[in-house]
């Protein structure tokens, strides 16, 4: 119980806990119903979840995000795994809520999202952060907004959610090879729209990230 007490005191005194440093203790506390631990999970993951949802369904993103974290709070006691698997689980819930919204609305495509809105509310993770260094955050997200839906979702889950290819494939219900191909086409398209000098470095970095993608 001592590690949990230390983490709880850190939360009470500082108002935040870095999950990457204390994930196991926070998870155990959340599974035991500790409000501070549930809030720590919310604060850590909500910006990325909301950024993903704003990009795919901007008119419903706030409500969807609220539903996602209600589901997380209700299901956290059944979760088993590491922090990476936890992020994947949370974004799986987010993606399923998005699919349910589309089904209820009777349409397969989401509303177009204003690039400024996406840039303002999106937090980029580390998975492919170096790929995006060649262009500004606002410019990058504006270009992602113009991608075909399947490509945009793969890129968002890789960059915004900071998830590996295996997890993205599981979330969107595609084979890993198909996810790599979508990522490859998306990054090539983004590279073509960049200035010549930046594009060369962009494509080189994405080749290292995605070595098995078809040429």
Give the pLDDT score at 138.
60
What digits encode the pLDDT tens for the residues 121-161?
455 444 444 454 544 456 666 777 788 989 999 988 988 78
Rg (CA), the chain: 18
The model's pTM is 0.72
H helices within the chain, ranges in order? 2-14, 19-31, 35-56, 61-75, 83-105, 115-121, 129-132, 137-145, 149-159, 165-172, 176-192, 196-209
Q: How confident is the model at residue 60 (pLDDT cuts 50, 70, 90)?
A: very high
Q: How far apart are CA 149 and CA 153, in angstroms?
A: 6
Q: How far apart are CA 212 and CA 210, in angstroms?
A: 6
Q: Taken in order 163, 143, 49, 43, is the CA torsion positive or negative?
A: positive
Q: How many other C-beta atoms can be found within 10 angstroms of the C-beta atom of residue 21? A: 11
Q: How far apart are CA 176 and CA 173, in angstroms?
A: 9
Domains, the chain, ordered by start: 2-105 (1.10.1740.10), 117-209 (1.10.10.10)
- Alpha-carbon distance values, 31 to 3, 24, 41, 133, 159 (Å): 15, 11, 11, 38, 28
What digits encode the pLDDT tens for the residues 171-181?
999 999 999 99
What digits encode the pLDDT tens for the residues 31-45?
999 998 899 999 999
């Amino acid at each position: 119980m001592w590690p949990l007490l230390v983490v709880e005191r850190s939360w009470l005194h500082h108002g935040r806990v870095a999950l990457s440093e204390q994930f196991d203790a926070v998870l155990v506390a959340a599974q035991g119903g500790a409000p501070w631990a549930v809030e720590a999970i919310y604060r850590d993951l909500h910006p990325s979840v909301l950024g993903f949802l704003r990009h795919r369904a901007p008119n419903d993103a706030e409500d969807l995000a609220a539903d996602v974290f209600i589901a997380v709070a209700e299901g956290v006691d059944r979760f088993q795994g590491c922090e990476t698997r936890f992020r994947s689980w949370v974004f799986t819930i987010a993606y399923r809520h998005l699919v349910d919204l589309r089904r209820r609305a009777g349409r397969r495509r989401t509303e177009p999202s204003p690039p400024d809105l996406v840039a303002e509310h999106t937090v980029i993770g580390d998975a492919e952060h170096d790929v995006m260094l060649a262009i500004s955050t606002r410019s990058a997200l504006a270009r992602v907004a113009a991608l075909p839906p399947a490509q945009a979702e793969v890129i968002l889950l890789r960059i915004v959610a900071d998830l590996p290819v295996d997890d993205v494939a599981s979330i969107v219900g595609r084979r890993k090879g198909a996810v790599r191909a979508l990522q490859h086409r998306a990054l090539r398209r983004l590279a073509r729209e960049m200035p010549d000098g930046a594009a060369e470095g962009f494509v080189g970095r994405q080749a290292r990230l995605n070595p098995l993608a078809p040429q």
